[in-house]
């Protein structure tokens, strides 16, 4: 097993040394990028949003970007209401991410599609709308990317997304 891990580490190191592209610092890691792809190096970004009449509703997102894959956690915690806390899994194309947020609320598991876009130090989220016929929230292509989150150091992010 030790030999396998050593060989895998060596293969990753050789592959990293031979990739073409430009290196740029973004957030918590260094990415090697070409025009159409991003290396297997991962980057972790955290964002928060406060809303409500007294800014007491909190939404916290931790994104782990690895190539075109997006994973992470998302906690939507309205003041004195039931929180939705769960994981996100999806794909990334440039600065746009789409996927599924699976969460627990009141002891039940549910899921909603999401779409995020990174613009500088901000994360924009496409709003969902409630469909009374199905009783579920849905993501519409015509909805705007109007929910704005601010980037923060992941060390100071909400403990529920760490």
Report d(CA 133, CA 129) in Å as an integer: 12
3-state secondary structure of 32: strand
Give me the residue spans of the domains in the chain. Answer: 2-33, 42-161
- DSSP lists the bridge partners of residue 25 as 30
Two structure tokens written together for 49: 């949003």
3-state secondary structure of 49: strand
No. of H helices and E strands in the chain? 1, 12
- Kindly report, residue by residue over 107-155, the tens digit of the pLDDT: 999 999 999 999 999 999 999 999 899 889 988 888 889 999 999 999 8
Report d(CA 103, CA 144) in Å as an integer: 23
Report d(CA 112, CA 76) in Å as an integer: 13
Q: Summarize the confidence of residues 71-78 as an average pLDDT.
A: 93
Greatest alpha-carbon span in the chain? 59
Confidence of residue 40 (pLDDT cuts 50, 70, 90): low
- Kindly report, residue by residue over 78-118, the tens digit of the pLDDT: 888 889 999 999 999 999 999 999 999 989 999 999 999 99
């Amino acid at each position: 097993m030790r030999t396998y891990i050593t060989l895998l580490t060596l293969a990753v190191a050789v592959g990293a040394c031979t990739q073409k592209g430009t290196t740029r610092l973004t957030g918590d890691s260094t990415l090697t990028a070409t025009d159409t792809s991003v290396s297997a190096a991962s980057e972790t970004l955290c964002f928060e949003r406060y809303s409500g009449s007294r800014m007491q509703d909190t939404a916290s997102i931790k994104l782990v970007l690895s190539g075109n894959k997006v994973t992470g956690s998302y906690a939507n915690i309205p003041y004195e209401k039931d929180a939705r806390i769960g994981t996100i899994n999806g794909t990334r194309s440039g600065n746009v991410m789409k996927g599924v947020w699976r969460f627990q609320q009141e002891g039940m598991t549910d899921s909603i599609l999401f779409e995020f876009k990174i613009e500088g130090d901000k994360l924009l989220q496409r709003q969902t709308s409630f469909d009374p016929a199905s009783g579920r929230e849905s993501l519409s292509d015509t909805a705007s990317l109007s929910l704005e989150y601010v980037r923060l150091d992941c060390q100071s992010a909400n403990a529920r997304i760490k």
